Every structure is written in C-alpha cells, then in structure tokens.
Structure 1
Amino acid sequence: MSSKIIQVNERPPLSQAIPLSIQHMFAMFGASVLVPSVFGIDPAIVLLMNGVGTLLFILITKGRAPAYLGSSFAFLAAGGVVIQKYGFEYAQGGFVAVGICGCILALIVYKFGTNWIDYVLPPAAMGPVVALIGLELASNAASNAGLLDETIDMKNVVVFLITLCVAVFGSILFRKFLAVIPILIAIIAGYVAACIAGIVDFQTVANASFFSLPHFQLAKFNMEAIVTMLPVLLVIASEHIGHQIVTSKVVGRDLLKDPGLHRSLFADNFSTALSGLIGSVPTTTYGENIGVMAMTKVYSVWVIGGAAVFSMVCAFIGKLSALISSIPGPVIGGISFLLYGMIGASGLRILVDAKVDYGKARNQALTAVVFVTGLSGISLNFGGVQLTGMVLACVVGMIMGLLFYIFDKLHWTNDREEEEVVEASVASSLEKK
C-alpha cells in the first residue's frame, strides 16, 4: 500500500476513504476557518460553502482534477477596505463580481487555449513560481507553531516536533494503509501531546451548541466596492494557474489540457461567486491539500469529495467544528511545515523534469529574478489590492518570459543564435551521411 498510487478516478474502499477524507479536511481546516474569523463572520457558512464549492469543482471538471476549495486569503486586504466602509454585504457583492469576471476569463481561455502559458512562463520561471507557493508560507507555519514568538514556549516546541517527526518518519516507516494517512496520524499524535502539555483549550468546545445552522445573507452591490475588489482577479488567476500546474506535476497528468484550464478556472470562480452571493467568503484551490496528495500519492476525487462532505457536516454540528478548531497552533504548524515544503519541492521538480539548462543566461535570469522577487518582501499596491510574494513573482516572470519571446522572434537574443548554429551543424552532418 505504501508504494501504491491511488489515481484520480479510483474509488478506495469506504474503510480507507473515510480516514483519507478526514485527513484532507484536517489539512485545510485551520487556514480556511481563519478567513471568516478575520472578516468577523460565521465560520459555519464558510465550511458549508467550501464543501459545496469543492463538489461543484469536481463536477465541472468531470472528476479529472483533484482539488479542495478552501477560503481564499487573496481578498483579505480589499475585503477589509470594503467592509470598513460599506459592510460585509457589499464585500459579498465584490466577491460575486470578481467570481463572474473570473468565469468570463475562463471562457476567454477556452477560446484561445493555454499554449501561451508555455511562452510567458517557461520552466525556468514556472519552477520557482510553483516553489514559491509553498516557500512563502514557510513563515506562517513557523508562526502557527509559536517558533517566531519573542519568548518561545518549550511546550509548543515539543508538540511541534512530535507532530512533524511523526509525519516525516511515518511517511517512510509506516506500512500498508498507515503509509497513506501519516498526516492524520501526526495530527492525532500532536493533539494528544498538546493535551498532555496542557495547551488545548476545551472551553470553546464546552460552550458550542451541538447543532447549529449557518448564517445566510444575500449580497448587496455597490460599484465602488466592486471596483475596489476587481484587481484581486489578477491575484487569484495567477494563483489558480500555479496550483493547477503543481497539481499536474503531483498527479502526473496535464490538468491544463484535460479537463482544461478553462474548466478548473470556471469552477473555482463560480464557487467564489456562489459563496459570496449567500454570505460566505471566496474560495480557492488549497496548497495544503496539494501537499497532502504529494506526500501520500492519493489523488482520488472520491477522497476529496468525502472531505467536502465532512466539511459540510461540520457546518451543522457545532461541537465537532469546535473540537477541530481546538487543534492548537503547534500541531497545525508541524503539519504545515512539511506540506508547504512538499509544494516547494514540486517546483524544483519542474526544473529537473524540464532539464532546464542553466548554462543559458535567460534561464539563470528568469529563475533568479522570480525567486528574489517572491522572497524579498517587495509589494506593489493597486488600490486596495497588494501584489506580493508568489503572485508578484508570477507577474514579473510572465513579463520577462513575454519579452524573451518577443526578442527571439526579432532574432535579438544571442543564445538563440547559438541554437541555430548547432541545429545547422547537425543538419549539415546528416546531409553528408
């Protein structure tokens, strides 16, 4: 079982599917619940719509693209501006508008295809962009674990190390079915350690009602609020392309071609629009769950769908939701430490698989500038939207890739001349033979 890959369309037995699905839900839960907490809204509606959005994504992509849709962080800055000025209902209207525009963008991609990605984001740029999806979140994992606090609590360090070590060593030591649920086992081990250390707060669980109904409210629309929110489309489109490329590498299929970027992009944005319409926050494909797939080699959409159903159940059972929410930061940090690193490794894998030639100045420049842009902390602000990290690096990489493509067409690049000389030499040798 440890070496077996469970492919996208495979349906594991129920006895295996349930713990595998719970593992995925745990991976996304902490980050996904954080967004509604920042916006000051009911997390239950978010858990419900995350589940609904994931099931819609699977349906629209014909069950060929494994992805879990969780709460998007890309809207935090612009959403905060709109909420402060108009209220959350008008931020919802902005979410809906961005989602609809994203669906239109998906139709444009359907019309013109995805070949342009190969030109504007060649492997020397795409590799570091994908790596940055995980690497720029490394500090978040350390922060969750309490490792960046001014005064470090050794209890947090011990729980963090127990969680991380069980996940790392379990992935190579566990056998049979245990080999594909090391994340779940690590979370349980970390939670038990946290209880022993006395850093788990059960008061929230005690105060939570057993059953609860999510709070629904319809969106309201204001043109200024919508305009404030629209630039986020660039962020989420870049993020989506990056996630689909890294997922393609993980599962060994080109998801940009089948089911197609247009389908996954449409599904992602349709979920955002629907979520915003009835009182939830925008959704996005989740890096944590990509990391789980990379580590466990379980890519089944049936498992992802099961995680979506569990999320929806949590939206109605307050005690269960509160219990999962009580998982302390060092446990989440220990798991995230590994999962984010797995995404970073997937980016490096793109460079290896593509056999990127770093004897060429263009490849050195692309990788160097993209990495430094993403990790430097540089940011650009457009209204209420901030471009930083992976998204800014992706934009910079696309601009550089496009310029290099234009220079090639104009025969300005010196490395292209070298290639043409080699090609001519090979052709001449073949003719002589």
Structure 2
Amino acid sequence: MENKKIIQVEEKVPFNLLIPLSLQHMFAMFGATVLVPILFQINPSVVLLMNGVGTIIFILITKGKAPAYLGSSFAFLAPAGLVITKWGYSYALGGFIVVGFSLCVLSFIVYKFGIKWIDILLPAAAMGPVVALIGLELASTAASTAGILPGTDGSIDSKNVIVFLVTLAVAVFGNVLFRKIFAVIPILIAIVAGYITALLTNLVTPQIVVDALHKSLLVKPNFQTPHFNLEAILMILPVILVLASEHIGHQLVTSKIVGRDLLKDPGLHRSLFADGISTMLSGFVGSVPTTTYGENIGVMAITKVYSVQVIGGAALLSIIASFIGPVAALIQTIPGPVIGGISFLLYGMIGASGIRILVDAKVDYSRSRNLTLTSVVFVTGLSGVAFKIGQVELKGMVLACIVGMVLSLLFYIFDKLGWANDK
C-alpha cells in the first residue's frame, strides 16, 4: 500500500481494508443516488436497497470482471417527472420496466452483431472527448451541490466555502501524501474531515445528528407496484438513447482505468443486460432506474483499487443501510459542500481519463478528420445545445456522442468512396 499498489479486478483485499474501502464507495455514490428519490418524493430506503441488489446482480452477470456500482439514474428525471404529475409514480414505474427490458433487447443485438461497430462509430478522436465530457459536464453540478456558486443575491455562504475547501484539500493532498492504509481511502478520510468541519462551523448542528441517531432501529422500504400506460411508456422510452450512450462511455473509461477491454471481456452485451435487469427489477418494486456511476469510477481511478469484492461490499452496506433507520438518516445529514468537494476531484478524474484515451491512442491531429471530430464533439457537449425527442432532451455528453457517431460514420463512408482528402 506504501506506493499505491494496484489491486486488480479479481483480487481480494485484506479484511481490515474491505470495510473502509467499501464505505468509501458507498459514500461516493450516496449524495447523487439519494437525490433522485427525493426529487421523485419517495422514500430513499427502497432505492438504497435496490441499488445494492442491482450492483450485486451486475457483478454476477458480468462474472465479476467489470467493477461498477449501480446508482440512481438522472436520465429519467424530466420525462418521469411529467408522467408522475399526470398519472402518478406507479405509471412511471411501468415506463422504467419497459426501458430496462429495451436495454436487455439491445444487449442481445450487441451479442449477435458484436462490437466492431464501436471502432467505426467511436474512433479514439471521438471517444476521448465523449468520455471526458462525462466528467466535465458535471463540473457545474459539483459546484452547485457544494453551494459555492453565487445565489440570487450574488452572495456565497462562507461556511459552504470552508467545508468545501477542507474536503477537497484533504482529498487532493491525501491522494498524493497519504501512505499505507490511508493511501487507499483518501476519499473516505476527506468525507470524515469535511463532516467534522461542517460540525465545527455549525453547518451541521449536533441536534441534527442526535435526531438521526434516534430514528427507529429497523425500517421497512416502501415497496410499490407498477402500472402500465402506453402514453406514459412512450414518454419515457426515448431515455434508452441516453442510457446506452452513458453505459458505453462508462465502460470505455473503466476499461482505460483498469487496463482491460471490458467491452470484450466480460462483454458489452453482458454489462448492458445486467444494467437492464437491474432497472427492470427496480421498477417492479417501486425503486428508481439504475445506471453505472461515474463517482465510483472516479474512486477507482484515485485509489487504484479495482476489486469487485470492494464494490460488492459497498452494495451489501447499501442494502444494510436501507433497513437500519439511524444509519440511513445519519448518512443523509452529510452536507452538500462535502459531497461537492469530493465530486470536484472525482469528476475531474473522469475528464482526465478521456484525455488519456487520446494520448494512449496517439491520435494524429495533423489529419483533418481527427481535429474536426474532437473539436465538434467537445463544443457540442459543452455549448449547452439541446435537441428534444418528445419529452426527452438530448444534450451534453449524450448529444455529443450521437453527433460524433454520425460524423465518424460519414467519414468512414467517405473513405470507402475514396472521397476523403486525408486518407
């Protein structure tokens, strides 16, 4: 651990490290994954339960070869919000199930036709910026969560800034300076340091902590049954475009981090199928759809611990937390500046992974197509341009990915026709 030895996907970790490493992953995903059920106005307990169950299912289906934590998906917020307003949450659940089933169908198509099309539709010059955008477009979200952006009156709460800076500083310098066991849990230490600072600055009052600890020891997740309505389903179904693009991007960046081609082994078809099954099961019991989480990819990039045993440990902790009232309540008291401070580093790590793809592939920018691809993808993703299909808005990384794929396909056709001037 002294020099941050890499712990590979299939390796086991010492028991004394398993719990802190698993806690680190659970805390990394917690802020974002709990926000979705709060916005849908449902109890987060069932979401924590199904995220843990979904992650374990993902590990089993991918044969323990693809380290990924499945958290709440933000892609459904807009269309599901409209469905909930018009028909109620149970009808949104029906839409979630159909989207999950569609992902499973897509996985069989990938299994049948392979993944060679990815090299044509997403060459390195397009893939690199698409992966980078996964982290870069979330930068403003991290700042907003931290509460360090000016409010309507132009002011910023100094408490937020102090807690944010302490959390970020411990994460950044701990990643460089910590040794032995501390070298692999800098995120967890930063969260603890940020929380203590929040208590000292009275951003989190002791009474809030006391109230959380006095919650009922055992709680039962509030399960709900789905209802199906064709109009509601059609409003939510286009989200599959977002999920597929996001999933491929996450698998690509994870592949670069762990040094293995996860699209080939265990295979993109397996990971897509696992993601779809998890989303379907969540819909059947009243939870929200799931997706592989960028926050946890960032944790792996920082710690160099890729073991699925650790991911599985985080999933089990999430399941346990869903039934223990004080634990779930206490975790929910973690303030935004702490989550934002961690996210600053984690999202940046994902952005850097996209640049690494360009470097590793030795992309030749003297070729017009490469320069054009990277430029257009970056500008599309960061410009704020949006395109709507029904109630689903395509923007950011997803729209940039689609634009990059269309351009890459056209360039491939130009090559076949002998029209390209840089072949």
Query: TM-score range with shorter-chain normalisation?
Result: over 0.9
Letter in 1 for 2:77: L
Match of 1:100 in 2: 101
State the match for 2:176 in structure 1: 172
SS at match of 1:414: coil
- 1:265 corresponds in structure 2 to 272
Q: Distance in 1 between matches of 2:412 and 2:216?
A: 59
Q: CA deviation at 1:149?
A: 2.7
Give the C-alpha shift of residue 14 in structure 1: 1.3
**Partner of 1:75 in structure 2?**
76
- Runs (4 or more) in structure 1 with deviation over 4 Å come to none
- Equivalent residues of 2:92, 2:232 under 8 A apart: yes
Q: Which of 247, 254, 258 is the matching residue for 1:251?
A: 258
Residues 4 and 184 in structure 2, CA contact (< 8 A), matched pair in contact too: no
Corresponding position of 2:332 = 325
Q: Give the conservation status (yes or no) of the 8 Å contact 2:213–2:327.
A: no
> Partner residue of 2:351?
344
Other structure's SS at 1:387 match: strand
Q: Can you list the C-alpha shifts for 1:66-85, whole angstroms capped at 9, x where unaligned?
A: 00000000000110111111
Do 1:64 and 1:301's aligned partners in 2 also have CA atoms closer than 8 Å? yes
Query: 2:309 aligns to what?
Result: 302
Where does residue 212 of structure 1 map in the other structure?
Answer: 219
After the TM superposition, which residues 184-195 of structure 1 pair with which residues of structure 2 at under 5 Å, given as runs?
Answer: 184-195=188-199
Residue in structure 2 matched with residue 398 of structure 1 by the alignment:
405
One-letter code aligned to 1:324 = I
The answer to whether the 8 Å contact 2:134/2:350 transfers is yes
Match for residue 22 of structure 2? 21
Gaps of 5+ in 2: none
CA shift, 1:3, in A, is 2.6
For 1:124-163, what per-residue CA distance to the aligned partner results, in whole angstroms no more than 9, with x for missing partners?
Answer: 0000000000000000111111111321111111111111
Aligned to 1:407: 414
The aligned amino acid for 2:355 is L
- Pairing of 1:136-147 with structure 2 (within 5 A): 136-147=137-148
- What TM-score comes out, normalization by structure 2 length? 0.97
Query: Partner residue of 1:426?
Result: none
Question: Which position in structure 2 is the counterpart of 1:240?
Answer: 247
Q: Does 1:289 align with 2:296?
A: yes
Give yes or no for the alignment of 1:56 onto 2:60.
no
DSSP-derived class of the 1:70 partner: strand
Query: 2 CA distance for matches of 1:60 and 1:321?
Result: 28
* Whole-Å separation in 1 of the counterparts to 2:4 and 2:317: 27
Residue 384 of structure 1 and its aligned partner are, at CA, apart by 1.1
Whether contact under 8 Å (2:295, 2:347) holds in the other structure is yes
Distance 2:214 2:332 in 1: 13
Whole-Å separation in 2 of the counterparts to 1:200 and 1:248: 39
SS in 2 for 1:217: coil
Take 2:297 and 2:416, find their aligned partners in 1: how far apart are those partners? Answer: 37
Q: 1:126 corresponds to which letter in structure 2?
A: M
Residue in 1 aligned with 2:203?
199
Q: How many residues were matched structurally?
A: 416
CA distance in 2, matches of 1:231, 1:10: 38
Once residues 5 and 186 of structure 2 are traced to their aligned partners in structure 1, the CA distance between those partners, rounded to angstroms, is: 15
Deviation at 1:207, TM superposition (A): 6.1
1:349-373, Cα deviation, whole Å (9 max, x unpaired): 0000000011111111100000000
Q: 1:123: which partner in 2?
A: 124
Cα RMSD of the aligned pairs, angstroms, is 0.9
Partner of residue 3, structure 1: 4
In structure 1, what residue type is equivalent to 2:100? G
- Give 1:319's aligned amino acid: P
Q: Which amino acid aligns with 1:125?
A: A
User: d(CA) in 1 for partners of 2:137 and 2:343?
Assistant: 12
SS in 2 for 1:62: coil
Q: What letter is aligned with 1:97?
A: V
- Tell me the equivalent position of 1:379: 386
Letter in 2 for 1:387: L
In 1: Cα distance, 2:247 partner to 2:357 partner: 17
The one-letter code sitting in structure 2 at the alignment partner of 1:73 is F
Secondary structure class of the residue paired with 1:386:
strand
**2: CA distance, partners of 1:321 / 1:34:** 13
Q: Equivalent pairs: percent with the same residue?
A: 69
Q: Determine which of 152, 156, 172 is the counterpart of 2:156.
A: 152
Q: Distance in 2 between matches of 1:406 and 1:21?
A: 47
Rounded Cα–Cα distance in structure 2 between residues aligned with 1:101 and 1:207: 43
| Residue type at the aligned position of 1:350 | I
Question: For residue 318 of structure 2, what is the aligned residue in structure 1?
Answer: 311
Aligned partner of 1:87 in structure 2 is 88
Letter of the structure 2 residue corresponding to residue 339 of structure 1: L
Residues 214-241 of structure 1: per-residue CA shift (max 9 Å, x gap): 0111111111111111100010000000
Structure 1 unaligned blocks of 5 or more: 417-433
Worse-matched range after superposition: 206-215 or 160-169: 206-215
For residues 300-344 of structure 1, what are the alpha-carbon distances to aligned partners after superposition, in whole Å with 9 as ceiling and x for unaligned? Answer: 000000000000011001110111110111111110000000000
Matched residue type, 1:323: L
Question: Separation in 2 of the partners of 1:99 and 1:190?
Answer: 37
- Asked whether the equivalents of residues 213 and 330 of structure 2 are also in contact (C-alpha less than 8 Å), the reply is no
1:143–1:149 Cα contact (<8 Å) kept = no
For residue 363 of structure 1, the aligned residue among 349, 370, 392 is 370
Q: Give the Cα separation in 2 of the matches to 1:278 and 1:144.
A: 29
Tell me the CA shift for residue 184 of structure 1: 0.3
2:4/2:303 contact within 8 Å kept: no
